[in-house]
Amino acid sequence: MTKTEQISFVINTLEELFPNPSIPLTHFDAYTFLISVLLSAQSTDVRVNQITPLLFERANNPYDMVKLSVDQIREIIKPVGLSPMKSKGIYGLSEILIKNYQGQVPQSFEALEALPAVGHKTASVVMSQMFGIPAFPVDTHIHRMLYRWNFSNGKTVVQTEKDAKRLFPEELWNKLHLQIIYYARAYSPARGWDLNKDLITKTIGRKSVLKEWEFAHAKRPK
């Protein structure tokens, strides 16, 4: 296949498997989504979705959030990890939203990335999924997939994002971001990966990745 054919194959396969991918993080609006995405850093969506109902019961808007102390927030979110940094970030960004944005989440990359504990990936997820602005957030799943599919060299997430935006049509970025994540979790995980169940990688995968898997799973003579 040519690179163009490979891209079409990926898009079509993902569309067949995940035609309507839902946002996996529990949220009610842009603010609760921002908090959920922030909490998901180096954690799992499942773990975050177990914790956010407890947090949002106490505070689901910045005005109620700042009524809690950083220590109170930290105690609630402790199971998701990195709670010292995340609790300070949640409290600090809530203060800024109240002071500068009338309690609303700003709709720009620059403003979002200026908030405490909000990096480029978090801003990209919020912009794409809440405001419909084309973005291609790269998490560990997308980083792994684009390397396995030989679409990026896998050296940095910055390079992976550039390659993804160069290869895929802009109008598909927001949906593809979710589709690739769902595909990676279901068919191409980092651990317990079975190439025979991973149609896309098996069809267009990086040769070195395929050889490495085949070597690791070759039947050894008794």
Query: Is 45 marked active-site?
Result: no
Rounded to 5°, the CA angle 192-202-147 comes to 75
List the catalytic residue out of 3, 71, 121, 165: 121
Query: Is 139 marked active-site?
Result: yes
Name the residue type at position 73: I
Cα 49 to Cα 80: distance, rounded to the nearest angstrom: 10
Rounded to 5°, the CA angle 17-23-24 comes to 90
DSSP label at 81?
A: S
* DSSP-derived 3-state class of residue 118: coil
H or E element at residue 30: helix 30-39
List the catalytic residue out of 3, 64, 71, 139: 139
> Known catalytic residues?
121, 139
